[in-house]
A and B are shown apart, each in its own frame.
Chain A
Amino acid sequence: MAFASPHITAYAVEATEYPDLARKYQVSGVPKTVVNDQVEIMGALPEGAFIEQALQFTSGN
């Protein structure tokens, strides 16, 4: 998704190496995706779920 949009940056975060981040976002199971520090998606969902969350942040929403 990051590759497809100039506005999206994607981070693959290894939770055991960054326990501070894992704590900040209360990561108790993986994969867990955090969008703009605000929305959490648990698990590996179809692409649509991630895209719709990214779209929540467009102008006019």
Chain B
Amino acid sequence: MSLISPADQQKLRDAFSEMTRPVRLLFFTQALGCETCPQTRQILDELPPLSDKISIEEVNFVLDADKATQYAVDRVPAIAVEYEEEGERRDTRIRFLGAPAGYEFVSLVRAVLLAGGGESMLSPEARTRLALVDKPVTMQVFTTPT
């Protein structure tokens, strides 16, 4: 049974239909000691049925530690958003730590749409300013489900 109402599913289907490239959600998980991993998986599983451009790739945090390091993931559950362009995998550098429930689900959907070729919410001026960034910057946004 879906967590999303049929009306909302249709809204999401419509939004996702605008996507122009495939998006892969890498789900970093482990079998033991991750209380919210099943919930995260359940939330993620809602998405592929709504678009043939969305896929989930599960990565075992313990067995595939190299991949976790590659994506700068050091705890689970974690989701990395990437897309495919000209046959190559490209990282959006967007990460979700913790189950994307509540309002974070909206953020996840927005990230998927952005990765899928959607419009940025940033102004052109903002993007011009951002082009000046030349050193690594991490931005951790803390939220709660409500």
A contacts, CB < 8 Å to B = 1-18, 21-22, 25, 27, 30-37, 47-48, 50-52, 54-55, 57-59
Contact = CB atoms under 8 A, between A and B. Distances in A.
Interface string B115-146: 10000111100110111111111111111110
B98 interface: yes
Which size bracket describes the interface of B in this complex? 35 or more
Interface stretch (B11-19, B60-68, B89-97): B89-97
Contacts of B122: 1, 4, 47
Contacts of B123: 47
Given A11-B141, A31-B143, A47-B123, 12 more contacts: A1-B122, A3-B93, A4-B127, A8-B139, A9-B72, A11-B95, A13-B97, A31-B142, A35-B139, A51-B130, A54-B133, A57-B133
